[in-house]
Structure 1
Amino acid sequence: MRNRNGIFWGIFLLLSAAILIISQLHLITYSFSFWTIAATIFLAAVLIKSLVYFAIPGTVFSLAFLAILYAKPLGITAIVPWTLLGAALLVSIGLSMIFRPLLAKHRPWINYHRGYTRGHHGPFVKMDYTARPDVKTVDDPDVNVYVKMGSSIRYVKSEDFSSANIDVSMGDAKVYFDNVKVHDTATISVNVSLGGVELFVPRNWNIVKGLDNNMGAISEVGNPVTDADSPSVTVVGLVSLGNLKINYV
């Protein structure tokens, strides 16, 4: 993941330099304001990061916003912004469904190849993609939650919790970890796109975040109370045009 961050920042800085030079040399017949250039650099950053992390929604929506921003030079002023955004949503859904098996191979935090996933603490585990979003209690040390265009609530009860893989696309999931025990360490992998995930974790957990945020929101509610005996739980993954909330209970 560090290598990907290096690629992102390298390309971002090169593209930013190119945009600044082109804007000052007046190589484009249209003149743009400072805020237009600033918005372009920001959207270019989102686009590059989305491409580096193979995030389809971030890629499509950043291109859509760039098209809105440069509608006049592109000659597409007849297309209203809401039409472009609506088309971007449909394209995101379609491409996500088509390329999910291919894109999953390139995501370092979770591997969906042939319906299997692997956490940091165990072998491959079969993931059920056909299960309907509902309310369930899970007694396993390795938890898998998959939500697509729906909602799901999982109450995890385990005496030796090891890992959790949470994948949410255009839906929402709430996962309660307040009735589990962690021996030393555990890992929670989150991949949320155009949706929301809420994690309810014990206050005594030492949460270590290794998350990538792509036009999403990551927040924490409550105050953790940790000490030398607190287990270390790492939360990794990608939040793309979505929301992740960690609640300390």
Structure 2
Amino acid sequence: MSRTHSKRIILGVALLLAAVFLVLDQLHLVALHVGFWSVVWTVVFAVGAIFSLMNKSISGTVFSIAFLLIIYAKPLHIQAIVPWTVLVAAALISVGLNMLFKRNFKPNVVVNGKKVNVNWSDLKNLKYEVNSDKNGKKSQTTVESNDGENVVISSKMGDVSRFIHSKNLRSVSVNSSMGDVKVYLDDAKAAGDVVYANINVSLGDVTFYLPDNWKVRSNIDSGFGEISIPDRPKKDSDGPTLILQGKSSMGDLTVKYI
């Protein structure tokens, strides 16, 4: 089972349980009485805690639990502890655990076949690149052809494989929500020295298949996910550079050479 499918199952089950609990609560069939928004935030922070554990994020796990304690302070009889105290304690616990288990719980970021000692914030792009014409006017492409200069791929709760045959490729834009997208660029030719991959992914997996002479540079803003970029097979060959940029929220981004 892929990570995308696991995330879908977890989120789906959480929403179903929240719906059942909300109905039972309104019918006074459960002893724990909470409001509608409490149930909504419970789903948000519970799912956040699970995803944080899956991605080995100590801070995400600790703070998700802290917010759950704040929401259920009355049923748990811990009202004497004010929210700020809980949050400060969570911050101290997070720092302490990160110092103790730093190597085990840092994000798995692989660049050029080697794990690098960075945080997700180090991979953030300072500015989301927008294609511009020769006069500097910004434009947004809506082209969806597999052989055009700018290719757009969209996927929502599904699996998509796209084989790009463009001989003058400038950009590939991937918009995916809870989907699994595979992009094959082995038959594509870059228009210049650089091809931009504009990524907007949430709860999904994106995999790029590249010719063995292409280089890769990542400027992805990634939260609760993994970025895997292997070592380039033909290091001495001169090829274009694929620049990964945009956002990946609770998603995995992988590059493979073929």
Task: Return the TM-score normalized by structure 2.
Answer: 0.50
Displacement over 4 Å in runs of 4+: 61-65
Residue of structure 2 in register with 1:202 after alignment: 211
* Contact in 1 for aligned 2:227/2:252 (Cα 8 Å): yes
Say whether residues 1:119 and 2:131 are aligned partners.
Answer: yes
How do 1:115-194 residues align onto structure 2 when only pairs under 5 Å count? 118-119=130-131, 123-126=139-142, 138-182=146-190, 183-194=192-203
* Contact in 2 for aligned 1:161/1:181 (Cα 8 Å): yes
How do 1:20-169 residues align onto structure 2 when only pairs under 5 Å count? 42-43=59-60, 64-68=64-68, 70=69, 74-75=73-74, 108-109=127-128, 118-119=130-131, 123-126=139-142, 138-169=146-177
SS in structure 1 at match of 2:218? strand
Deviation readout 1:101-126 (Å, 9 max, x if unpaired): xxxxxx9537xxxxxxx536784222
* Contact in 2 for aligned 1:217/1:239 (Cα 8 Å): no
Shift of 1:178: 0.6
1:76/1:201 CA distance change after superposition, 3 Å:
farther
Say whether residues 1:239 and 2:248 are aligned partners.
Answer: yes
SS in structure 2 at match of 1:204? coil
In structure 1, distance between residues paired with 2:131 and 2:62: 31
Structure ID, larger Rg: 2
Residue of structure 1 in register with 2:227 after alignment: 218
Structure 2 unaligned blocks of 5 or more? 1-55, 78-125
* Contact in 2 for aligned 1:120/1:187 (Cα 8 Å): no
Aligned residue type for 1:190: I
In structure 2, distance between residues paired with 1:177 and 1:237: 19
In structure 2, distance between residues paired with 1:126 and 1:202: 26
1:66/1:77 CA distance change after superposition, 3 Å:
same
Aligned residue type for 2:211: P
1:123/1:236 CA distance change after superposition, 3 Å:
same
1:205/1:62 CA distance change after superposition, 3 Å:
farther
Say which structure is richer in strand. Answer: 1
Structure 1 unaligned blocks of 5 or more? 1-38, 44-60, 79-106, 111-117, 129-136
1:72/1:208 CA distance change after superposition, 3 Å:
closer
* Contact in 1 for aligned 2:180/2:204 (Cα 8 Å): yes
1:204/1:120 CA distance change after superposition, 3 Å:
farther
Aligned alpha-carbon RMSD (Å): 3.3
Aligned residue type for 1:124: Q
Task: Return the TM-score normalized by structure 1.
Answer: 0.51
In structure 1, distance between residues paired with 2:205 and 2:156: 11
Q: Percent identity?
A: 27
Shift of 1:222: 5.7
In structure 2, distance between residues paired with 1:152 and 1:40: 29
Aligned length: 150
